[in-house]
Amino acid sequence: MKVAVLAGGVGSRLWPLSRERYPKQLISLTGDKSLLQNTIDRLLPLCDNHILIVGIDAHKEDLEWQLSSNGDSRIKYNILLEPYPRNTYAACLYLTLYLEKQGVKDPILVVPADHMILNEELFYEVAKDAEKLAEKGYIVTFGIKPSFASTGFGYILKGERIDGSKGFRISKFEEKPSLERAKMYIQNENYLWNSGMFMWKPEVFLSEVKRLDFETYEKVRSLFDDKFERDPEKIYSSLPSIPVDKAVMEKSNLGAVIPSGFEWSDLGSWDSLYDVAKKNKDGNVTTGDVLALHCRNSFMYSTGKLMVGIDLEDLIVVDADDAILVCKRGSSQYVKDAFDALKEQGREESQIHRTVYRFWGQKTLISRGDNFLIYQVLLLPKKEILLQMHHHRSENWIILSGAVEIEKDGKKGFYHRGDSILIPKSTPHKISNPGKISAQILEIWQGEYLEEDDVEYL
């Protein structure tokens, strides 16, 4: 089988940690590695060390950094970038057409980048069973026995068993029902959650999409046609933004489901994180510098500052430096509404963190005014920030520690602690760290337009 990982989501229900430009799959929530890195590690026994990562253009640098730092040089990655996030239907069609163009005929295992799976040996068994069904021409999904009435998952009603397999035909597929219907479904043992993991052969999936939605099929196919001029952004922005479940699984007669016995969570909300986390004797989950006094059954997460909770019960408190979330446990599904409201208001807290991670290190926003921004930059050893220039801002760099080499308008020089250099507007420049320790730099932007897109790489 071939393996593809969907890594283009936003994870808005995990705001304020998950942001549009640095979403949950890139964050370490359950250990030292990010959810994407954990997913890749889990998939290695199922693939031939070749993994396709499907992301979006805005996350390109972050994806490359995460993959390069995952620590296994045997793995060969292909990154397929969508111009915009358009939900899983567009992503699945895009990746399947891409692999078909590469000559792939084997079943494709498609998994989200941000799930948690325990009992991995059981997962591998289910994947092998799904591969056999996909070889027979089915579009297979992995079903999970519901543990509570969730309105955040799709529900699958098992039909008749498929001869010679552990799978069942899909009798009914309903995407994210009302709470009343969800309560009804969990009383019926034939209903399963849809895990969002799929297996299909390229020819089978593409044939179904052509039958069900020929217009979208042709639009995405045209992205691979060199005979015509094409505008990927224009084409992609016109695609329907719907899940593959609604576009294909609900309508197809080829759907099959395999009931799965492994422990699973989509880590889609703070409540789901609380559910899978290790709790202390009072039922609390604490992460970071947290002091909980007389607190019960609460989730407290701090990324930096000391957090003190007193006499709290059934609360979720998340401090992400520039934003704080407080809500009742059981209400975290409404965090998406807060995220959408912030985005509509144009608040940058929905878009980006104060600290931004890059392949060369990181930078933290310290202060901002009408015509200036101040960042503290950490440049890792043997890394460089690529040659570029900015048309609307000047930059002043003050070296706080370490040693760097700076190229300015074609001239190079070494700079050490206490040195500073001014980079005027529209001046080509590059900075690198040739040393053995990280360099820290105070970077001051000044100008009338201070957005990240004011950059021209040279």
64, 143: one domain: yes
The verdict on residue 135 lying in a domain is yes
Q: Please return the burial class of 120, using the count of CB atoms within 10 Å of its CB with bins 0-12, 13-18 and 19+.
A: middle
161, 297: one domain: no
298, 201: one domain: no
69, 94: one domain: yes
Domain limit, last residue, from 265, 292, 321: 265
- Along the 458 residues of the chain, how does pLDDT read in single tens digits? 999 999 998 889 999 999 988 899 998 887 778 999 999 999 989 987 789 999 998 888 888 888 877 666 667 888 999 988 899 999 999 999 999 999 999 999 999 999 999 889 999 999 999 999 999 999 999 999 988 877 778 899 999 999 989 999 999 888 778 888 888 888 888 999 999 999 999 999 999 999 999 999 999 999 888 655 568 888 888 999 999 999 999 899 999 999 998 999 888 899 999 998 999 999 999 999 999 999 999 999 998 899 999 999 999 999 998 999 999 998 998 999 999 999 999 998 998 888 887 778 889 999 999 899 999 999 999 999 989 999 999 999 999 999 999 999 999 999 999 999 999 999 999 999 999 999 999 999 999 999 888 999 88
314, 221: one domain: no
Predicted pLDDT of residue 50:
87
Q: Could you give the number of structural domains in the chain?
A: 3
Q: Which residues, in sequence order, are CB contacts of 344 under 8 Å at separation 6+?
A: none
315, 378: one domain: no
36, 119: one domain: yes
CA distance 377 to 399: 10
Domain limit, last residue, from 238, 265, 292: 265
What is the CATH number for 415? Answer: 2.60.120.10
23, 128: one domain: yes
Q: Which residues, in sequence order, are CB contacts of 452 under 8 Å at separation 6+?
A: none
Cβ atoms of residues 91 and 198 within 8 Å:
no
Cβ atoms of residues 337 and 327 within 8 Å:
no
Residue 343 parent element (H or E): helix 335-344
The verdict on residue 352 lying in a domain is no
88, 56: one domain: yes
Domain that holds residue 252: 2-265
Predicted pLDDT of residue 225:
80
84, 193: one domain: yes
Q: Which residues, in sequence order, are CB contacts of 275 under 8 Å at separation 6+?
A: 265
The verdict on residue 65 lying in a domain is yes
The verdict on residue 272 lying in a domain is no
The verdict on residue 401 lying in a domain is yes
38: tokens are: 């954990």
179: tokens are: 């709470």
Q: Give residue for tokens 């080499």.
A: 405
148, 224: one domain: yes
The verdict on residue 423 lying in a domain is yes
The verdict on residue 375 lying in a domain is yes
Q: Which residues, in sequence order, are CB contacts of 309 under 8 Å at separation 6+?
A: 290, 291, 292, 293, 295, 298, 300, 315, 317
pTM for this predicted structure: 0.84
DSSP-derived secondary structure for 47-86 = SSSEEEEEEEGGGHHHHHHHHHTSS-TT-EEEEEEESS--
The verdict on residue 354 lying in a domain is no
What is the CATH number for 258? Answer: 3.90.550.10
221, 85: one domain: yes
